[in-house]
């Protein structure tokens, strides 16, 4: 264990005083360099790193630092047909495979109805890069969803889908963004970021656009008034330096646009995919990433913990390492669940996880406004139907396209 001493202010330091100096600067809101971030991510003691990240979070949210948020949403997967064949993905099927399925619009709208019935405020429309689905497909579906359920926020897709649909429809990505936004898309979910640096991206998603191109399209969207989140897939063989480079690339775009609302790292799941779990991120690496993201991404408002891929206890711990949001009660989720993420939860449990982490739970909107603050346990919601994965192909292998239970087709 590293030797410790005391600074003049009585704070513990590692044997490397330079690291502590960087942590102190970050905790007080100062910007750190990518080189400093690599050193902190690799060498700073875990608790010291978490303490600095939590201090940065408290400083950013002074006045509401006692609150941690969650959202109720549904991931509606419209097809598993995909031409990109990413090596980490267990969800896709090759377009001519007998395993391909596509949901019709009535089925999608029924799932939206159920989301509203259960108090959900957001849908994530996610699927494969279908060889026939251009801009027109998304225009039709987003417009139909908004007409039927205008209260639902469509927080969906990402730069990879935009690149694909624009190519299919033979239009520019700018036109594709403008058209689907006009049809009803509210914001992008940051899908397809995976790893942005070239080497790891080519290794796991060789048929996708480059990381630089992904960011160009996100910047284009931000400049058109369409905000997004940003994500990172950890554990497919990338180096520490490549993880920090991913953050650096996001931070540079954010300096220009301010359009990334949040950063959400999640861990690679090893089942049923071509990588076969040869490399994975540890839970400690994940917590270190949450902390370094809060410190390094000084221009991104929110850091989200991912209980779905790391487990509820680690998700809860992330609230002590710089995260201010615990993600969602996902009424349906198929993509990472197909690769082995079998963690499930419900609204009461998420509220308790947040509360037992010493924070006040609050249900939020897509744009992070507090919709309901659960400051009195006596008033906690009691609807036990609000649970994750009420319908999921990943949990129901007997049916490729399971029927819904709460709302029938009529």
Mean of pLDDT over the chain = 86
Q: Determine how many CB atoms are found less than 10 A away from the CB of residue 222.
A: 20
pLDDT digits (tens, 9 = 90+) for 326-367: 988 877 645 444 444 454 567 888 999 999 999 999 999 999
67, 373 contact by CB (below 8 A): yes
What is the pLDDT averaged over residues 165-188? 98
* Of 195, 203, 279, the residue nearest 232 (C-alpha): 195
Which of 77-91, 349-363, 384-398 shows the lowest per-residue confidence on average (mean pLDDT)?
384-398
Q: State the pairing for strand pair 122-126/153-156.
A: parallel
pLDDT digits (tens, 9 = 90+) for 115-170: 998 899 999 988 889 999 999 999 999 999 999 999 999 999 999 999 999 999 99
Query: Is the confidence at residue 275, as pLDDT, over 70?
Result: no
Query: Is the confidence at residue 106, as pLDDT, over 80?
Result: yes
Q: How confident is the model at residue 14 (pLDDT cuts 50, 70, 90)?
A: very low
Label residue 10 exposed, middle or buried (CB < 10 Å: 0-12, 13-18, 19+): exposed
Q: Determine how many CB atoms are found less than 10 A away from the CB of residue 278.
A: 9
Percentage of the chain beyond pLDDT 70 is 83
Which of 99-103, 221-225, 277-281 shows the lowest per-residue confidence on average (mean pLDDT)?
277-281
Which pair of tokens denotes residue 139?
A: 């225009």
- pLDDT at position 143 is 98
- pLDDT at position 216 is 98
pLDDT digits (tens, 9 = 90+) for 277-331: 566 778 899 999 999 999 999 999 999 998 877 778 888 999 999 999 998 887 7
Query: Is the confidence at residue 73, as pLDDT, over 50?
Result: yes
Q: What is the CATH number of domain 67-379?
A: 3.20.20.70
- pLDDT at position 9 is 45
- pLDDT at position 3 is 40
Which pair of tokens denotes residue 195?
A: 């790893």
Q: How confident is the model at residue 388 (pLDDT cuts 50, 70, 90)?
A: low
What is the value of pTM for the model shown?
A: 0.87
DSSP string for residues in 282-322: -HHHHHHHHHHHHHH-TT--EEB--HHHH-HHHHHHHTTTT
pLDDT digits (tens, 9 = 90+) for 227-263: 999 999 998 889 999 999 999 999 999 999 999 999 9
What is the pLDDT averaged over residues 200-204? 93
Partnered with residue 265 across adjacent β-strands are: 232
- pLDDT at position 17 is 76
- pLDDT at position 400 is 36
Which of 122-131, 211-220, 395-404 shows the lowest per-residue confidence on average (mean pLDDT)?
395-404
Question: Who contacts 127 (Cβ-Cβ below 8 Å, separation ≥6)?
Answer: 77, 78, 79, 80, 81, 82
- pLDDT at position 264 is 95
Better pLDDT: 176 or 269: 176
For 137-151, give one letter per residue: b (16+ CB within 10 A) or e: bbbebbebbbeebee
Residue entry with tokens 């801009």: 135
- pLDDT at position 92 is 63
Question: Who contacts 259 (Cβ-Cβ below 8 Å, separation ≥6)?
Answer: 218, 219, 221, 222, 223, 226, 227, 228, 253
- pLDDT at position 184 is 98
């Amino acid at each position: 264990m590293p030797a410790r001493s005391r600074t003049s202010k009585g704070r513990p330091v590692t044997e490397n005083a330079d690291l502590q100096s960087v942590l102190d600067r970050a905790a007080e809101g100062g910007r750190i360099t990518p080189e400093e971030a690599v050193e902190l991510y690799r060498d700073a003691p875990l608790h010291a790193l978490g303490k600095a990240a939590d201090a940065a979070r408290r400083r950013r949210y002074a006045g509401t630092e006692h609150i941690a948020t969650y959202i109720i949403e549904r991931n509606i997967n419209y097809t598993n047909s995909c031409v990109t064949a990413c090596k980490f993905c267990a969800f896709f099927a090759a377009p001519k495979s007998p395993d391909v399925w596509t949901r019709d619009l009535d089925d999608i709208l029924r799932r939206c109805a159920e989301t509203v019935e259960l108090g959900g405020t957001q849908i994530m429309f996610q699927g494969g890069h279908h060889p026939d689905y251009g801009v027109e497909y998304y225009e039709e579906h987003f417009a139909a969803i908004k007409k039927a359920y205008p209260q639902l926020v469509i927080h969906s897709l990402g730069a990879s889908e935009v690149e694909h649909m624009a190519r299919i429809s033979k239009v520019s990505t700018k036109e594709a963004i403008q058209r689907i936004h006009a049809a009803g898309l509210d914001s992008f979910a940051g899908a397809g970021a995976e790893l942005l640096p070239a080497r790891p991206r080519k290794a796991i998603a060789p048929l996708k656009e480059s990381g630089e191109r992904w960011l160009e399209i996100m910047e284009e969207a931000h400049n058109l008034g369409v905000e997004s989140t940003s994500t990172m897939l950890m554990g497919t063989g990338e180096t520490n330096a490549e993880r920090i480079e991913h953050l650096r690339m996001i931070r540079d775009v954010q300096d220009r646009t301010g359009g990334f609302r949040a950063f959400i790292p999640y861990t690679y799941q090893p089942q049923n995919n071509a990588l076969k779990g040869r490399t994975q991120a540890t839970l400690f690496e994940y917590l270190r990433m949450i902390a370094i993201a809060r410190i390094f991404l000084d221009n991104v408002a929110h850091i989200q913990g991912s209980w779905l891929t790391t487990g509820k206890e680690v998700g809860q711990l992330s609230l002590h390492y710089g995260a201010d949001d615990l993600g969602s009660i996902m009424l349906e989720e198929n993509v990472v669940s197909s690769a082995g993420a079998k963690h499930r939860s419900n609204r009461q449990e998420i509220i308790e996880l947040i509360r037992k982490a010493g924070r006040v739970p609050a249900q939020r909107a897509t744009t992070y406004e507090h919709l309901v603050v659960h400051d009195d346990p006596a008033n906690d919601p009691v609807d036990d139907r609000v649970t994750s994965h009420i319908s999921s192909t990943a949990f129901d292998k007997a049916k490729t396209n399971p029927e819904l239970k709460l709302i029938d087709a009529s």
